[in-house]
C-alpha cells in the first residue's frame, strides 16, 4: 500500500466531508431517538463507500480519455464556477 497517497487521500476526503450536507443529514438521522444508531452508521458508511467507488470508477474511465492534468484543471474550473455562483447569489440575497 502507498501510505503517503493513502494519507493524502484520507486527509483530503476527511476535511472535505466535515460539516458538509452529507454529514449534517447523517447527524439529523442519528439525532432521532427512535432510530437505531448502528443502522444510521452502516447505511451512511455504505452510501459513502458506494459514492467513492463510483468516483474511482469514473476517474479510472476518464483517465483513459483525458490526462490527469486536464481533469484537475476541469475540476478546478468547476469549483471556481460553483464558488462564483454561490458568491453571486449570496451577494444578491444580502441586498
Q: With 90 as the cut, is the pLDDT of residue 94 above it?
A: no
User: pLDDT of 51-80, one tens digit each?
Assistant: 999 999 999 999 999 999 999 999 999 999
User: pLDDT of 8-43, one tens digit each?
Assistant: 999 999 988 888 888 899 999 999 999 999 999 999
Alpha carbons 12 and 14: distance in angstroms, whole number: 6
Taken in order 31, 32, 33, 35, the sign of the CA dihedral is: negative
Range of 93's domain?
67-95
Angle at 19 between CA 45 and CA 15, to 5 degrees: 80
Residue 85's pLDDT is: 92
- Report how far apart, in Å, the C-alpha atoms of 55 and of each of 36, 45, 48 are: 29, 15, 10
Look at the chain and report how many structural domains it folds into.
2
Same domain, 60 and 74: no
Same domain, 33 and 71: no
Angle at 44 between CA 46 and CA 53, to 5 degrees: 40
Predicted TM-score (pTM) of this structure? 0.71
Selected residue with higher pLDDT from 86 and 43: 43
Amino acid at each position: 500500500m502507498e501510505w503517503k497517497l493513502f494519507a493524502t487521500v484520507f486527509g483530503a476526503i476527511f476535511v472535505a466531508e466535515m460539516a458538509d450536507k452529507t454529514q449534517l443529514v447523517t447527524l439529523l438521522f442519528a439525532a432521532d431517538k427512535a432510530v437505531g444508531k448502528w443502522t444510521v452508521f452502516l447505511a451512511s458508511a455504505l452510501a459513502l463507500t458506494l459514492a467513492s467507488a463510483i468516483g474511482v470508477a469514473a476517474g479510472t474511465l476518464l483517465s483513459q480519455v483525458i490526462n490527469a492534468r486536464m481533469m484537475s484543471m476541469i475540476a478546478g474550473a468547476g469549483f471556481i464556477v460553483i464558488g462564483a455562483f454561490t458568491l453571486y447569489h449570496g451577494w444578491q440575497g444580502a441586498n
